[in-house]
Every structure is written in C-alpha cells, then in structure tokens.
Amino acid sequence: MFSKTSQYTLRALVYILLENSKGRNPGFREIAREIDSPAEFTGKILQDLARKKIVSSAKGKHGGFFLTEAQRQISLRTIIEHIEGENIFQSCGFGLKYCDAANPCPLHEEYATIREQLQQYMNSHTISHLAFQTDGQRIYLKREAL
C-alpha cells in the first residue's frame, strides 16, 4: 500500500538507526546494499529526507547518514506524510475530495475506521520503535527469500 519510496525510506532509516547505535554513520551505498534497494535512488531519497530534516548527513571523508536524538522522536506519520503528501491518512477511499461523516461516500464508515487505526499507530510510533522491538525478534530489512 505504501510506495516504493516510502518502503525504502522506512527500511533505510531503521538500518541507519541500528548502525548509529553501534557508533557508525553509514553511506547510501552501504545502506542500499543492506536493505536491498537501488543505490542511486536510495541516495536521492536520503538527500530529500535530509533537506526535510528527517535525517542528518555529513559530507566528506567519514561522512554518512545519522539520526539526531530529536529526529529519533519524529513519528512514522510525519515521515510518511513528507513522502506521500499531507492527506495520505485522511483521503477518501472512493477518491472524493469532500467526504466526511455528514456526507460520506459509500465506503466511508468502515474505511475511515481502519484508516484511523493505521494513522493512530503511525502517530504513536517512531523509527526507534521499529528498530528496537521489545519482543527480541531479529530485524529483517533485506530478506528477498528464505
């Protein structure tokens, strides 16, 4: 349901945070290799996210990408909204510009409920939540096959 760009973004940011916590700032080639995404395209995405202050970057030798403490607090919702647009979590399932409880499209009720749940989750979780799961599961960012 999310675009490739959103998926690469989430995978990349989780990888960056995991490496940061080992004291490393990975470059985009390494990131792309480890999350299995096209390198140059991933570079472009990160460049974009850096412009939007969602991730930080350092140029030059020993440069790379990293998340500041503040950036680790950014909600998944904010991140995704920067990519997919402001109303990804509000837009009508039927594609109507104006669709609300008073004047609903035929899909409104159920769709709104489900959409709200996703929004709620994305609102209350961060890249840190994704990177440091409490259930001890190992993190898969790359797996193409078993």
Partner DNA sequence: TTTAAAAAAGACATTAATATCTTTTTAAAA
Partner DNA sequence: TTTTAAAAAGATATTAATGTCTTTTTTAAA
CA distance 128 to 28: 20
Q: Which of 2, 29, 50, 58 binds a second copy (CB under 8 A)?
A: 2
User: Which residue's CB is nearer to DNA, number 61 or number 97?
Assistant: 61
User: Which residue's CB is nearer to DNA, number 61 or number 143?
Assistant: 61
Site for DNA, residues 18 to 57, rule: CB under 7 A: 26-29, 37-41, 43-44, 46-47, 50-51, 57
Please give the radius of gyration of the chain, using alpha carbons only, rounded to the nearest integer. Answer: 17
Site for DNA, residues 51 to 110, rule: CB under 7 A: 51, 57-65
Task: Give least dist CB 30 to DNA, A.
Answer: 8
Beta-sheet strands, E only, within the chain: 56-58, 64-66
Beta-sheet strands, E only, within 2-127: 56-58, 64-66
Task: Give least dist CB 94 to DNA, A.
Answer: 14
| Three-class SS state of 126 | strand
Closest CA to 27 of 138, 131, 35: 35
Closest CA to 28 of 13, 46, 48: 46
User: Which residue's CB is nearer to DNA, number 39 or number 129?
Assistant: 39
Tally: H helices and E strands in the chain? 6, 2
What residues make contact with a second copy under the rule CB under 8 A? 1-2, 4, 7-8, 10-11, 14, 88, 91, 93-99, 103-107, 110-111, 113-115, 117-118, 121, 125, 130-131, 133, 137, 139-146
What residues make contact with DNA under the rule CB under 7 A? 3-5, 8, 26-29, 37-41, 43-44, 46-47, 50-51, 57-65
